[in-house]
Amino acid sequence: MSSARDPLHVTGEVLSVKRIGAYRHLTLVAPGVAERSRPGNFVAVSVGDLRPRSHQTRLSYWIHRVRNTGSHGATIEIIVEPRGAGSQWLTGLGQGSRVDLTGPLGRPFAQPKEPVSCLLVGEGHSAAPLFPLAERLRERGCVVSMLLAASDEQHLLAALEARRSARSVTVVTRDGSVGRSGRVADVLPELLAQVDADVAYAAGSVETLHAVAAAAEAHGAWSQVALELPQPCGTGLCNGCPLPVVGEDGVARIVRACHEGPVVRGDRVRWTALLEGA
């Protein structure tokens, strides 16, 4: 018997593709997926018609927004950075194109029971799942602050929107084209202290997530990190996304990033093993 939380495999429809800086913002009609999703869930999209085995290629994308559009029901929005063949195929789709996807997948962000102070750290396109999270946390009475980071202005995701979602927003770019010049790690200790964060949520590169987990621990805060490790299937079937962790029993083990994650507690990740394997 399927539960309201089980992922669905559906043929979706592209409602729109818009350019946002270096990214493409896709709105997809995906019946049932939107209704089941929680902040931190992702969808696995089948990218096709590229090579002989294209029907087996699936790429994962964070669910950025869920919106109710009267005529098409609830839709999902994803942010795609066109890079290799798969993401270029996806961002090249026109309005009305059909696309197979499975979702919502993965373990979402755990949310605090008390109204605490939360710092949300998002790097590049990976900031996508933090916006619905910010809304949920605010509904729970949490104080939400955001740190958005990118290589340059083109890769900075939705900084204006962040100002509506958070009490304070800090921006850092590596080239200094907007906000402060530097990286997440440069401003993190100061920011955690400034907002007196109880929880840090982060989505970005493994190096950035490691920096957030370490700084949060030093500050005495919990951390939840959303990992983007390569995922051949995204559904827990292939064991192709090994994530080294320490279990609650203190024993080191390997779990599947797509199924036991992709959101995990920062202090549970064996960062050295992960970075060495990356």
Ligand X SMILES: Cc1cc2nc3c(=O)[nH]c(=O)nc-3n(C[C@H](O)[C@H](O)[C@H](O)COP(=O)(O)OP(=O)(O)OC[C@H]3O[C@@H](n4cnc5c(N)ncnc54)[C@H](O)[C@@H]3O)c2cc1C
Residue ranges of the binding site for [2Fe-2S] cluster = 233, 238, 241, 258
Q: Which of ligand FES, ligand X, none binds 128 (CB below 5-8 Å, type-dependent)? A: ligand X
SS3 182: coil
CB atoms within 10 A of CB 252: 10
- The residue assigned the tokens 């102070």 is 117
**Binding site members:** 233, 238, 241, 258
No. of helices (H) and no. of strands (E), the chain: 7, 16
- Does 122 bind ligand FES (CB under 6 A)? Our answer is no
CB burial string 79-112: b at 16+ within 10 A, e below: bbbeeeebbebbbebeeeeebbbbbbbbbbbebb
- Report the alpha-carbon distance of residue 100 to residue 82 in Å, rounded: 19
Contact between 128 and 150 (Cβ < 8 Å): no
CB of 141 to ligand X, least distance (A): 28
Q: Which of ligand FES, ligand X, none binds 53 (CB below 5-8 Å, type-dependent)? A: ligand X
Contact characters 145-184, ligand X, x per CB under 6 A? ----------------------------------------
Measured from the CB atom, is 22 or 171 closer to ligand X? Answer: 22
Contact characters 34-73, ligand X, x per CB under 6 A? --------x-------xx-xx--x-xxxx-----------
Contact characters 80-109, ligand X, x per CB under 6 A? xx-xxxxx----------------------
- Report the alpha-carbon distance of residue 91 to residue 155 in Å, rounded: 16
Q: Which of 121, 195, 118 is nearest to 157 (CA)?
A: 121
Which of 11, 56, 69, 239 forms a contact with ligand FES (CB under 6 A)? 239
CB of 88 to ligand X, least distance (A): 6
Which of 234, 244, 262, 266 forms a contact with ligand FES (CB under 6 A)? 234
- Report the alpha-carbon distance of residue 205 to residue 222 in Å, rounded: 19
Contacting residues toward ligand X, per CB under 6 A: 42, 50-51, 53-54, 57, 59-62, 78-81, 83-87, 125, 128, 228-229, 231, 262
